[in-house]
Structure 1
Amino acid sequence: MAKKIKQIAIYGKGGIGKSTTTSNITAALSTMGYKVMQFGCDPKSDSTNTLRDGTYIPTVLDTLREKNKVNAHDVIFEGFNGTYCVEAGGPAPGVGCAGRGIITAVQLFKEQRIFEELDLDVVIYDVLGDVVCGGFAVPIREGIAEHVFTVSSSDFMAVYAANNLFKGIQKYSNSGGALLGGVIANSINQPYSKEIIDDFVTRTNTQVMEYVPRSVTVTQSELQGKTTIEAAPESEQAKIYKRLAAKIADHTDSKVPSPLSVDELKQWASKWGDYLLALETGQITSSATGI
């Protein structure tokens, strides 16, 4: 019997640090002995750059535009520590569906049974999470990924995108769609940031997988075109990414989240806004309760 390949999808709004987080998870898993493929699903096609010294790779869609038929091996490139890197790609700017690259790439790899051939342990789909498009929902809708994680800071638009993702997971959960593993809390450098995320996950029936602070080590590493795992393996930030990767590797119990309605989310955000204003103006000085 063929082994079960762990397929996960990591979503998050643009600019939230999703690809940075995903690449460090991929790199960390590889150092733990797992055979990992990172599948970039953003039309910008830069998901895997820091696994390959900052270089771009030809995308599935670009290659298909040049050839009528593509061997999947032509669009798989080696990254840090033997990882496999793929970029689905997108259409020319202003033309076509941005999610088509995901649909096309997934079909190609399924037809050619690439995951089985490479004997992979983990496949990680790095997916843009703030675009309402059927293509971007493919890893969830079609049950390609079994577990979904979302990267979110405590900023409202990041939480809003996460809540929308929860709605998508809930919608497809009855037809074999992927379920939610939890939230990766990113850029958590202030106590109130942790409180906001903790409150959000409690209200939506999920969990925080790890709290990841904003760190200059990440910036320094990316300026070298590398993940923190490669460039600064003994740093505190690398230890956090390794801890997160281990939790994801061990994770088995995903579930259907309970997203907030638009009105509930607005009310929730308004209460936190009032609290932060009171904290800023000195009206309160301690952690809020009962928000």
Structure 2
Amino acid sequence: MNLDNKRIAFYGKGGIGKSTIAANVSAALSKAGKKVLHIGCDPKSDSTRILVKRRIPTVLKTLKEKGEQLNKEDILFAGAYGVTCVEAGGPEPGIGCAGMGISAVIETLEKLEVFAMDWDLIVYDVLGDVVCGGFSIPMRKQCVDTVYIVTSSEFMSLYAANNILKGIAHYETPAQKLFGGFIHNRWTSKTDKDVVDHFIQMTESHLIASIEQNQAIKMAEYQRNTMIEADPQAPISEVIENLGKDLFCEVTACDSHPLDDEAMEALFDFVSVKNQEISR
């Protein structure tokens, strides 16, 4: 595996906008001249949809069809601004373990020597709160240098974010810190930001970026576009481009300090108070 490239992973609760951020960051950095490999690790197989403008064959499906005859061209697809895209795939709903797709894609990319290619950046877009060990494989197999958690101020998003911190704590070492910080997505008010800021303070971590809810991003997605392509001059495109630059630079990793159950209850009480403030 080429250790000269930068390898990052986006984790977060399903539906939080993690894939949108990951895809837009990949597009922005590729547009800036970086050679980017974007790996979708979600059974929905939609991480690369707005990059390639369609759903691409997954590694699991192609492996089943071609077996030992599979080659790079069967699973690598060109996306926006030259991003190279891969989708892990997953089993049929209700059957098998979704994490197996992540394991299969890593093993396949290693076998085909894709990781040894001249990438500047490898991006993993990973679903879940790592309760399922399969979703921790990028960390467990030491395929990533830094993990960023995407969250909102919602209860379940914060709960998932805290579980992800617990997962990170299992795989980092004193010599290798994995946690890069939080990305706050979809904030609509000062109250939203107060909640996430409080959570970040409690976990003694970093806020990398705060992205305001924006209808333009949704419209771009409906048109199978990244925001960087749809309207490169829009303020939100500048936010995404700056986020990409920040993530590509050497970011100081922080210790992961997940909250225990008592602290989470205290956080939820804080959120409840803030939500009552909104309704007044």
The normalised TM-score by structure 2 is 0.95
Worse-superposed segment, 25-34 or 66-75: 66-75
Give the AA of the match of 1:11.
Y
- State the secondary structure of the residue aligned to 2:116: helix
Q: Deviations over 1:99-120 (max 9, x none)?
A: 1111011011112221322x11
Q: 1:20 matched to which residue of 2? A: 20
The SS at the match of 2:187 is: coil
The corresponding residue for 1:93 is: 93
RMSD, aligned α-carbons? 1.6
Give 1:214's aligned amino acid: Q
Give the residue type in structure 1 aligned to 2:266. Answer: Q
Q: Which residue of 2 aligns with 1:286?
A: none
| Residue of structure 1 in register with 2:169 after alignment | 170
- Tell me the distance in 1 between the aligned counterparts of 2:38 and 2:230: 19
8 Å contact from structure 1 (residues 181, 251) kept in 2: no
- Residue by residue over 1:192-224, the C-alpha shift from the partner in whole angstroms, topping out at 9 and shown as x without a partner, is 111111111111121111110111110111111
CA contact 1:139–1:178 (8 Å) conserved in 2: no
CA contact 1:35–1:122 (8 Å) conserved in 2: yes
Q: Which amino acid is the alignment partner of residue 158 of structure 1? A: S
Q: After TM superposition, give the deviation of residue 32 of structure 1 in Å.
A: 1.2
Tell me which residue corresponds to 2:238.
239
Cα distance in 2 for residues equivalent to 1:255 and 1:30 = 27
Tell me, yes or no, if structure 1 residue 43 matches structure 2 residue 56. Answer: no
Aligned to 2:208: 209
Structure 1 SS opposite 2:8 = strand
Matches within 5 A, 1:1-291: 4-53=4-53, 55-69=54-68, 70-117=70-117, 119-130=118-129, 132-174=131-173, 179-281=178-280
Superposition deviation, residue 52 in structure 1: 1.4
CA distance in 2, matches of 1:247, 1:5: 15
Q: Which moved more, 1:272-281 or 1:138-147?
A: 272-281
Give the C-alpha shift of residue 28 in structure 1: 0.6
Offset of residue 190 of structure 1 = 0.3
The answer to whether the 8 Å contact 2:60/2:88 transfers is yes
Instruction: Determine helix, strand or coil for the equivalent of 1:125.
Output: strand
CA distance 1:127–1:273, change in 2 (3 Å): same
- Report % sequence identity: 40
Measure how far apart 1:272 and its partner are: 2.8
Tell me the CA shift for residue 178 of structure 1: 6.0
Three-state SS of the structure 2 residue aligned to 1:67 is helix
Determine the C-alpha separation between the residues in 1 that align with 2:271 and 2:73. 49
Gaps of 5+ in 2: none
- Change over 3 Å in CA distance of 1:80–1:58 after alignment to 2: same
Which whole-Å CA distance do the structure 1 matches of 2:36 and 2:59 have between them?
A: 18
What amino acid maps onto 2:151 in structure 1?
S
Greater mean deviation of Cα atoms: 9-18 or 91-100: 91-100
Shift of 1:176: 7.6
Q: State the shift of 1:73 in Å.
A: 3.0
Mapped to 2, the partners of 1:175 and 1:104 lie a distance apart of: 29
The 3-state SS of whatever aligns with 1:237 is helix
Residues 56 and 87, structure 2, Cα contact 8 Å, conserved in 1 = yes
Please tell me the residue identity of whatever aligns with 2:49. Answer: N
Whose radius of gyration is greater, 1 or 2? Answer: 1
Q: Is 1:210–1:244's contact at 8 Å kept on the other side of the alignment?
A: yes
* Superposition deviation, residue 189 in structure 1: 1.7
Cα distance in 2, alignment partners of residues 179 and 238 from structure 1: 27
- In structure 2, C-alpha distance between the alignment counterparts of 1:184 and 1:10, rounded to whole Å: 9
